[in-house]
Amino acid sequence: MAYFLGVDGGGTKTRFLLMDANAQPLAQAELGTTYFPQVGLDGAGAVLEDGIAQVLSHAGVNAGDIAWAFFGLPAYGENAAVAQQLNTLPAGILGHLRYTCDNDMICGWAGSLACADGINLIAGTGSMGYGQRNGLGQRAGGWGDVLGDEGSAYWIAARGLNVYSKMSDGRLPKGPLHAIVNDALHLKRDLDLCAHIYGPNVGSRTDIAKLSPLVANAARAGDSHAQQIYRDAGFELAQIAIALRSALQFEAGEQVSVSYSGGAFHAGELLLEPLRNALQAASAQFDLRPPLHSPDMGAALYAQRLAASR
């Protein structure tokens, strides 16, 4: 029996999935981030080693039984020197070279669309898009929180915290967001928020992204500024899909399947509705559809596809 390992890295968590040749999942694990700018190469390697050990142990499978593995790693390809080092990490863990490393954007596409032509939008800690058509692959976005990541959980949270600061100062009237943040973070004074965001061992990219559900809660409670943040997020993510439609050379009347992955989409229609509206305004050929599989399953399916092509 051949086994296939999929690893979906991310800015917040890393998921591992081992499946058999019939695409039946055998074991799964979830650990912390493999985002090397945050945890370093050693930290990323330790997460990979632990996660692989967990799924192999649970399934009763040896590393040598893995026909192929795919490692989708965050920020892969954005630093050529580091990419070479990331490429070597799995070899020492697996004990063989039957694996491929690439960016985690591929996991979302392979899972959401089951490796079919189309575009996947990722809005997790960061944001980006990836698509394939006729064997051509393209990415857009994914520039990080300083240069971009529009529509991501980090971006939504940062925008929400900016609104909170304005509400606190009186630069904006207080809406539900203000009380929701205070209650969730147990703030005695508004300025105590700074202690959650700045200083040593607090306010990491991941920590801030985890605050995005507070913005979603405020939007559902009727906060107009929080609602606008989600409208803007949907618009920004749609621009990624529009750019990819052109880069992938979809023809004028050709349907473009678009799906999505990442924690920001847990907001549901708060994000999906403005995304859908922006896509339809750009082209009636966009077909926004829910994901077929999770990104870790997508990574395993892509590993199987890679094995078949060799």
Residue 35: its pLDDT value, please? 82
Q: What confidence tens digit (pLDDT) does each residue in 92-137 have?
A: 999 999 999 999 899 999 999 999 999 999 999 899 999 999 989 9
Structure tokens at 20: 């058999």
Q: At 262, is the secondary structure helix, strand, or coil?
A: coil
Whether 60 and 195 map to the same domain: the answer is no
Whether 220 and 299 map to the same domain: the answer is no
Whether 270 and 139 map to the same domain: the answer is yes
Question: CB–CB of 241/276 below 8 Å?
Answer: no
pLDDT, one tens digit for every residue, the chain (310 residues) = 799 999 999 877 899 999 999 999 999 999 998 988 788 888 999 999 999 999 999 999 999 999 999 999 988 887 778 888 888 889 999 999 999 999 989 999 999 999 999 999 999 989 999 999 998 999 999 888 889 899 999 999 999 999 999 999 999 999 999 999 999 999 999 999 998 898 777 778 888 999 999 999 999 999 999 999 999 999 999 999 999 999 999 998 999 999 999 899 999 999 999 999 999 999 999 999 999 999 999 999 999 999 998 8
Whether 133 and 59 map to the same domain: the answer is no
Of 180, 182, 168, which is closest to residue 222 (Cα–Cα)? 180
Whether 132 and 32 map to the same domain: the answer is no
Cβ count within 10 A of residue 166:
15
Whether 297 and 285 map to the same domain: the answer is no
Number of domains in the chain: 2
CA distance 124 to 153: 6
Of 9, 255, 280, which is closest to residue 124 (Cα–Cα)? 9
Q: Which residues pair with 33 in a beta bridge?
A: none
Q: At 239, is the secondary structure helix, strand, or coil?
A: helix
Whether 90 and 125 map to the same domain: the answer is no
Of 72, 53, 50, which is closest to residue 63 (Cα–Cα)? 53
306: CB partners within 8 A, 6+ apart: 68, 70, 100
Structure tokens at 130: 């990836």
The CATH number of residue 68's host domain is 3.30.420.40
Residue 6 φ/ψ, nearest 5 degrees: -115, 135
Whether 127 and 255 map to the same domain: the answer is yes
Whether 105 and 151 map to the same domain: the answer is no
66-73 β-sheet, strand order: 25-32, 13-20, 3-8, 66-73, 99-103
Whether 299 and 278 map to the same domain: the answer is no
Whether 144 and 284 map to the same domain: the answer is yes
Provide the Cα torsion 158, 163, 169, 175; round to 10°. Answer: -140
pTM of this structure: 0.86
CA distance 67 to 113: 23
Whether 75 and 192 map to the same domain: the answer is no
CA distance 109 to 115: 7
Range(s) of the domain holding residue 216: 117-291
Residues 17-34: b if buried by 16+ CB within 10 A, e if exposed: bbbbeeeebbbbbebbbb
CA distance 310 to 156: 42
Cβ count within 10 A of residue 193:
17
